[in-house]
Amino acid sequence: MPKELPLTIENRWDILYRDFPEVYDAFAAVPKNPNTFEVLQQHFDLAGRRILDVGSGSGSSTLAAAQWAEQVIGLEIEDAMRAVALRQTAATGILNASFVPGTALDIPFKDNYFDLVLAITLPLFQPEDIRQFASESLRVTRKGGIVITVGIAPFWYGGELAPIILGEKRVTEVDTEGVSHRVLADELHFDFFDYEADQEYGSLDKILRTYGFIFGRKAMDYLAAHGKTAIRWKFRIHHRRKDSSW
Ligand SMILES: C[S@@+](CC[C@H](N)C(=O)[O-])C[C@H]1O[C@@H](n2cnc3c(N)ncnc32)[C@H](O)[C@@H]1O
């Protein structure tokens, strides 16, 4: 029997990754302007690199990196997400991308193996997990290589609809993204910059079935009431080069 689609998972990302990896993939595949990898390529040279993509999900970030990289390996904890990534990779015929199971907290590669470690919206929000990921990602990066994270900027959960999703008052209190910023930037001396990007879904039906499905009833009602088909996001990129002080 086909799986019955609930109207929304109300921000339960664990359920999304485990039971609805195709919905995550459809959400991730909606074009962003500017595109995340264009921004990354402008600031960091990805060309010809050996890259690890931590929290590679359904593979969209890994396959995008593969357009520049010599080799890219996606590391992903959730089997259902990795299965989608493998299918996509086979379908595209891309040969320089592969995927391994495992966790960002114990990266299954030897020291100094990668030129670049990327983590695009890797959901770690406990300070000790963020420290452990930073230590592991710097360990597997070669001297002179770089660790880069792309995350949602503080108070931008769900993009411009954060006040709708979290409530006007709570939006300044719910600061999960701020936790990773304080650990990476203040404690671990990562540099950072922000940029904004627009995601256009093309139709109300599509935005409700992807973004709305994930971010919940309040977001869906707002989108439907305003006939809104695009979302503006603010992202924060943290980066740190591995030098002799590591
Ligand atoms: C928001 S998705 C991002 C996927 C992909 N990077 C992209 O840009 O579309 C986050 C992914 O990180 C994975 N993840 C969560 N915790 C992880 C961990 N500790 N180690 C590795 N992957 C993890 C999730 O299963 C999910 O697939």
* Structural domain includes residue 5: no
Closest CA to 150 of 48, 38, 49, 14: 38
pTM of the model: 0.95
Each residue of 154-180: pLDDT tens digit? 989 999 999 999 886 565 566 788 899
Q: Give the count of domains, the chain.
A: 1
Neighbours of 122 (CB within 10 A): 24
Each residue of 107-154: pLDDT tens digit? 999 999 999 999 999 999 999 999 999 999 999 999 999 999 999 999
Ligand 1 midpoint to CA 59 (Å): 10
* Structural domain includes residue 215: no
- Cβ(81) – ligand 1 distance below 6 Å: yes
Distance of CA 180 to the CA centre of its chain: 14
Helices (H), 20-161: 21-29, 36-43, 60-65, 79-92, 127-139
Ligand 1 midpoint to CA 227 (Å): 30
Ligand 1 midpoint to CA 42 (Å): 24
* Structural domain includes residue 210: no
Distance set, CA 159 to CA 151, 213, 215 (Å): 11, 15, 10
CA distance 83 to 57: 9
What's the domain range around 189? 14-198+231-239
> Which CATH number goes with the domain that contains 44?
3.40.50.150
- Cβ(140) – ligand 1 distance below 6 Å: no
- Cβ(71) – ligand 1 distance below 6 Å: no
- Cβ(8) – ligand 1 distance below 6 Å: no
Each residue of 183-212: pLDDT tens digit? 999 999 999 999 999 999 999 999 999 999
Q: Are strands 50-54 and 114-120 parallel, antiparallel or unpaired?
A: parallel
* Structural domain includes residue 207: no
